[in-house]
Amino acid sequence: MFRLAHPQYLYLLSVIPLMVLLFVIARIRKKKALSKFGDLKLIERLIPEFSSFRETLKFILRILAITLIVLGLADPQTGSKLEKIKRKGVDMIFALDVSNSMLARDITPNRLERAKQAIISLLGNLENDRVGLVTFAGKAYIQMPITTDYSATRLFLSDVNPGMIPVQGTAIGDAIETAVGCFGNTKQSKAIIVITDGENHEDNAAEAAQQAASQGIRVYTIGIGLAEGAPIPVYSGSTQIGYKKDAQGMTVITRLNEPMLQEIAKAGKGIFVRANNSQTGVKEVFDQINKLEKSEYNTAFFSDYEDRFQFFLFAAILLLFSEVLIADRKGRLAGKIKLFGSKSITNP
């Protein structure tokens, strides 16, 4: 197991691009200054001991050394002691709609981003519960198996976008069935939280929710969107080029299908909550899930870690020492063998 004891120090790496930019600017200004005295090739022949390659190499070594020092300050650690403990919690799967309609902006900044915020908000209230992530559009896929690693869940969420699923549509029933398969044969209380605009076009989602409930799995729905709806943006890369149109050339308006989501939640013995621009309904869902019986389960984790910062600092010292040993100018021997690309003067 690997972790950083002080990851906040990684922000110091942001100065490296600035250093590179300043170095490039300095090189350009130096060339311009030299060009005022004459032809650059002629000037290079007048100062054959100078090596621009050495200057660049020394700068690269400094940058690498700074990077290693920052990593050392972050204190990389590896797990050295594995322990098993008993915890109590609920198993839950987030089924997140990533169809194109989730890009509609009737919810700020858009439905999909607000849905991600809802999940992250709920994660902040969890302690020993295990979570998983299923994404769906025209088909459903397991994005992340069930785990207690909430940081990994947030990481997977950051990569979620409509382009990750090639088949468009909204197959809520398939998402519920896929989520059911994620639980396995555990004794924990189980819950599926479906976050969608509810425009189900593919299957009988209520039937899938009822089947899940018959296995002791509650299905909750969070409706993302407004009843008046909004057009669906169409993008080319990161640039919006218009809105989705139907066969008659009319702009398609996507609306929250609240009755459908209420029906699904009722069949799954859960509740439906509507999200809008002021709240996402997470608290209501969390309160309901928190009432479920929490069962014990075994989990393994690293309870002791060993510091590895010394390796990074030692490597940084070696690089800095090497940088000091490299002279800015070539010696006579280097000039004769034409090392580092500079030309030596040859008398006619």
Q: 128 and 163 in one domain?
A: yes
Asked, as a colleague might, if the bond just before 109 is cis with ω within 30 of 0, I would say yes
Closest by Cα among 215, 222, 218 to 289: 218
Q: 196 and 126 in one domain?
A: yes
pLDDT confidence of 118, banded at 50, 70, 90?
confident
More confident residue, 337 or 193: 193
Domain count, the chain: 2
pLDDT at 339 over 60: no
Mean pLDDT, to the nearest integer, of 219-230? 91
Q: What pLDDT does 303 receive?
A: 55
24-33 pLDDT tens trace:
998 888 777 7
Q: 62 and 136 in one domain?
A: no
Q: 132 and 11 in one domain?
A: no
CATH of the domain at 285: 3.40.50.410
More confident residue, 279 or 238: 238
* Percentage of the chain lying above the pLDDT 90 cut: 41
Mean pLDDT, to the nearest integer, of 273-291? 78
Rounded to an integer, what distance in angstroms lies between the CA atom of residue 106 and that of residue 230?
6
pLDDT confidence of 126, banded at 50, 70, 90?
confident
pLDDT at 140 over 60: yes
Q: 263 and 294 in one domain?
A: yes
> Exposed, middle or buried by CB within 10 Å (0-12, 13-18, 19+), for 73?
middle
pLDDT at 106 over 80: yes
pLDDT at 152 over 90: no
pLDDT at 334 over 60: no
**3-state SS, residue 42:** helix
Cα within 13 Å of Cα(333), Cβ side: 0
Q: 253 and 138 in one domain?
A: yes
Q: 250 and 125 in one domain?
A: yes
Mean pLDDT, to the nearest integer, of 269-281? 79
Q: 138 and 108 in one domain?
A: yes
Q: 290 and 328 in one domain?
A: no
Closest by Cα among 196, 162, 154 to 179: 196
pLDDT at 171 over 70: yes
Instruction: Look at the pTM and tell me if it is higher than 0.75.
Output: no
The one-character DSSP state at 258 is H
Q: 254 and 190 in one domain?
A: yes
Closest by Cα among 132, 135, 145 to 99: 135
Give the domain extent around 13: 2-75+308-341
The answer to the question of residue 347 being in a domain is no
pLDDT at 322 over 80: yes
